[in-house]
Amino acid sequence: MRLTIRQIETIPIRVPLPRVYRGSYYQMTHRSTIVTRIHMDEGIMGEVFTGDEDHINSRIERVIQDEIAPRLIGEDAFAVERCWELARPATFNILRDRRIALVACAAVDGALCNAIGKALGQPLWQVWGGYRNTIGVIWTGGYYTADVPIEVEMTAAREAGIAGMKFKVGGRSPEEDARQIKRWKAIRRHVAQVRQHCEPGDPMCRPRQRQALLHWAYDSRMI
């Protein structure tokens, strides 16, 4: 079986955000990515979206098109290590931001893997030897949106069963952050009491704990 690379297509996407998202040392006005599609002579197309850095997205695309694609045309996508070796010289420019070529290589690698999975008729987690088809994910929270209090955000995260959260602090005063963290730690005790002692649908069981849970629907600065 062979997958002959015929064309590498890139589609840059840049979407304005409804508001400015800020971290400690950055801010975002747009979310950006590159959709990379690798077309094979055999009719299969591998595709992936990669990257999240608005300010270098166009430079990543140029590396894919100008430096990596010409080296891979005509190669066999199943020869993954050879494709890696052919793409690697894009990382050799020590005067260029190393992220640019690394993300470019990752975009091509991801699209190649997608094509291989399609050719074999198998999801990639099986192709790579995995034993489960789900994986825990993490969220980023704590952006201090005006309409979503932190306690509501954390409750939604727990209900979604996320594996972890990168949580931002400092958008409010240290005193307010400390208050929110204290309330978050305390809420786990209230949830455990209700789950352990109450039957579903019994509103009179553990009323103090239930009231505490209801308070999480409000901004803590207002109670």
Q: Annotate 88-139 with DSSP letters as a single string.
A: GGGG--TTS-HHHHHHHHHHHHHHHHHHHHHHHTS-HHHHTT-S-S----EE
Residue 121 scores a pLDDT above 90: yes
Q: Show which of 127, 148, 166 is a domain's final residue.
A: 127
Domain boundary, last residue among 127, 151, 171: 127
Sheet architecture: strand order including 45-50: 5-22, 27-40, 45-50
Residues 119 and 149 in one domain: no
Same structural domain for residues 143 and 112?
Answer: no
Supply the Cα-derived Rg of the chain in whole angstroms: 24
Same domain, 123 and 23: yes
Amino acid occupying residue 65: Q
- Of the listed ranges 114-118, 146-150, 218-222, the least confidently predicted one is 218-222
Q: Do 150 and 104 share a structural domain? A: no
**Shared-domain flag, residues 78 and 146:** no
The better pLDDT of the pair 40, 184 is held by 40
Task: Tell me, yes or no, whether 52 and 121 share the same domain.
Answer: yes
Query: Which of 101, 127, 153 is the last residue in one of the domains?
Result: 127
Which two three-digit tokens encode residue 163? 């594996």
Asked if the structure places residue 133 within a domain, the reply is no
In a domain, 174, yes or no: yes
Instruction: Please give the tally of structural domains in the chain.
Output: 2
60 exposure class (CB count in 10 Å sphere: 0-12, 13-18, 19+): buried
Residue 122 and residue 21 in one domain = yes
Q: Are 63 and 100 in contact (CB under 8 A)?
A: yes
Q: Do 10 and 115 fall within a single domain?
A: yes
If asked whether residues 96 and 21 sit together in one domain, one would say yes
What pLDDT, in 10s, does the model give residues 81-120?
Answer: 999 999 999 999 999 999 999 999 999 999 999 999 999 9
Length of the chain: 223
Query: Same domain, yes or no, for 12 and 104?
Result: yes
* Chain segment 53-71, per-residue pLDDT in tens: 888 999 999 999 999 999 9
Position 220 pLDDT exceeds 60 = no
The CATH number assigned to the domain holding 95 equals: 3.30.390.10
Q: Which domain range does residue 86 map to?
A: 5-127
Residues 122, 142 within the same domain: no
* d(C-alpha 85, C-alpha 144), whole Å: 45
Q: Is residue 132 part of a domain?
A: no
Is residue 17 a part of any domain in this protein? Answer: yes
Whether residues 98 and 157 share a domain: the answer is no
